[in-house]
């Protein structure tokens, strides 16, 4: 199954084009390192939550948008090898100097796909991050597999439900924060791709 390296990034709205160019510049290098697919989804309809939300998760400022993005790998071993290359390649060091966002507030982690339905890629992403008690993982997987089929019947092209596998606690923000995950909970980084909004 697909292995996902997921990211949520606060980016100043005025730097959208700069961010797009930076991501496009990095794409060939990412592919060279083993990234099978690279998605950068710009904040279009990100509601404010009562308890948590994407903006709170990354301490987004009023002039910032949230980018929900990920790298897809064929497996964790390919991802681990790519991360070694990311750390040692001088091109990456050069790219990191000019990032148009506050990297300390970027949250990221590695996730193993538990449900993967569909293969077509879409033009619009509904992304979510949710904590699930480890004792409920099988029940969540069952429910997610059923819902993936329903989403596809209603026009979704692809649905991925990926559970945290390699996620560390951050100093400023981290992947545990969007869902206020507690001890004994895993995080799901998931998305539904549709043809358009």
Give all domains of the chain, ordered by start, each with its CATH number: 3-194 (3.30.70.100)
Which of 175, 174, 169, 171 is closest to 187 using CA atoms?
175
Q: Is 74 left (phi over 0), alpha (psi -120 to 50) or beta?
A: alpha
13-17, 132-136, 166-170, range with the lowest pLDDT: 166-170
Q: What is the pLDDT of residues 50-80, one digit of tens each?
A: 888 899 889 999 999 999 999 999 999 999 9
> For residues 64 and 100, what is the distance between their CA atoms, to the nearest angstrom?
11
Q: What is the pLDDT of residues 85-100, one digit of tens each?
A: 999 999 888 888 878 9
- Are 70 and 7 in contact, with CB atoms under 8 Å apart? yes
Give percent of the chain with pLDDT exceeding 90: 74
> For residues 122 and 120, what is the distance between their CA atoms, to the nearest angstrom?
7
Q: What is the pLDDT of residues 120-149, one digit of tens each?
A: 787 899 998 999 999 999 999 999 999 999
Average pLDDT over residues 32-38: 95
pTM for this prediction: 0.87
Q: Measured in Å, how far apart are the chain's first and last C-alpha atoms?
A: 27
- Are 58 and 107 in contact, with CB atoms under 8 Å apart? yes
């Amino acid at each position: 199954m697909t292995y996902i390296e997921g990211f949520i990034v606060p980016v100043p709205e005025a730097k959208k084009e700069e961010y797009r160019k930076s991501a496009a510049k990095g794409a060939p290098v990412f592919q060279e390192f083993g990234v099978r697919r690279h998605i950068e989804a710009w904040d279009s309809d990100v509601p404010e939550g009562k308890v948590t939300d994407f903006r709170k998760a990354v301490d987004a400022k009023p002039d910032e948008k949230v980018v929900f993005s990920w790298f897809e790998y064929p497996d964790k071993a390919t991802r681990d090898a790519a991360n070694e290359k990311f750390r040692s390649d001088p091109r990456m060091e050069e790219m990191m100097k000019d990032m148009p966002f506050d990297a300390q507030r970027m949250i990221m982690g590695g996730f193993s796909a538990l449900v993967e339905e569909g293969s077509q890629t879409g033009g619009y992403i509904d992304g979510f991050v949710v904590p699930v008690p480890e004792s409920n993982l099988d029940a969540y997987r069952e429910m997610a597999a059923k819902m993936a089929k329903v989403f596809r019947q209603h026009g979704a092209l692809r649905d991925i439900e990926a559970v945290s596998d390699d996620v560390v606690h951050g100093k400023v923000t981290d992947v545990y924060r969007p869902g206020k995950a507690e001890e004994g909970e895993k995080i799901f980084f998931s998305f539904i791709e549709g043809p358009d909004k």
